[in-house]
Amino acid sequence: MRLVLVSTAQLALAAFLGGVVGFERERSHRPAGFRTHIVVAVGSALVMLTGVAMTESGAFGSIDPTRMAAQVVSGIGFLGAGTILREGFSVKGLTTAASLWTVSCIGLACGGGYYAGAILGTLLIILTLNLLKKALMRGSRGKSIYIEIADVAGLAPEIGQTIKRLGGSLHSLEILYADDEKRRAKEGTIVLKALVFARSGEDIDVILEALRDLDGILDMYVD
């Protein structure tokens, strides 16, 4: 009975800690969110608990309880790879892939009884995903710019070079589908969404003026 209660507590803790990380990813609209992180954490904890139980029972001879856990650490990479997406000229999902791998390690720590490490690891992840991101962006102004063009291959590199030349930072550049609810492209044109950061609002305005002067840009919208 005691073993059941302890195992339940360990699985519950894994679910809670995985959910904390997953909630942050869900709120950021990442490809793997709340439920996925919980499932990964609980599954990892269960694998660790199974390995420990098999060792303690002695029914399978002398085995290393961490052998099954090692397969989780390497195997979670396949799941993480599924969250890495290429959108237009940017690659997204790397941070979510890393969070899934780390959540699996948190689950293993819960299953192995290393609660302090699991809790501390979760806190550090949340701090990294939130506070450090804000600190890196502090002092910068960001704008989402919707650019309507007809020739992506010819104009996209020039857009990036113009932003960089004027001291801005192009965080992402992606192609929106023609049926996007926010911005509908005219027939025969394509809408690019550029997330641009600069040190001040005046710098953003200078970048916008320079982009409007580029040949091939048909229209621009700014959020």
Q: pLDDT, tens digit, for every residue of 93-108?
A: 778 888 889 999 999 9
- Tens of pLDDT, residue by residue over 164-179, are 888 888 877 777 754 4
Residue 146 structure tokens: 């919707």
Mean pLDDT value of segment 78-86:
66
- 157 — pLDDT class (breaks 50, 70, 90): confident
- 182 — pLDDT class (breaks 50, 70, 90): very low
The CATH architecture one would assign to domain 141-222 is 2-Layer Sandwich (3.30)
Nearby residues of 52 by Cβ (< 8 Å), 6 or more positions away: 65, 111, 112
- Tens of pLDDT, residue by residue over 32-81, are 678 889 999 999 999 999 888 888 777 666 777 778 888 888 888 777 66
Decide: 173 and 192 in contact? Cβ < 8 Å: yes
d(C-alpha 132, C-alpha 52), whole Å: 37
Name the nearest CA neighbour of 75 among 112, 105, 52, 36: 105
Mean pLDDT value of segment 2-6:
75
Domain ranges of the chain: 2-136, 141-222
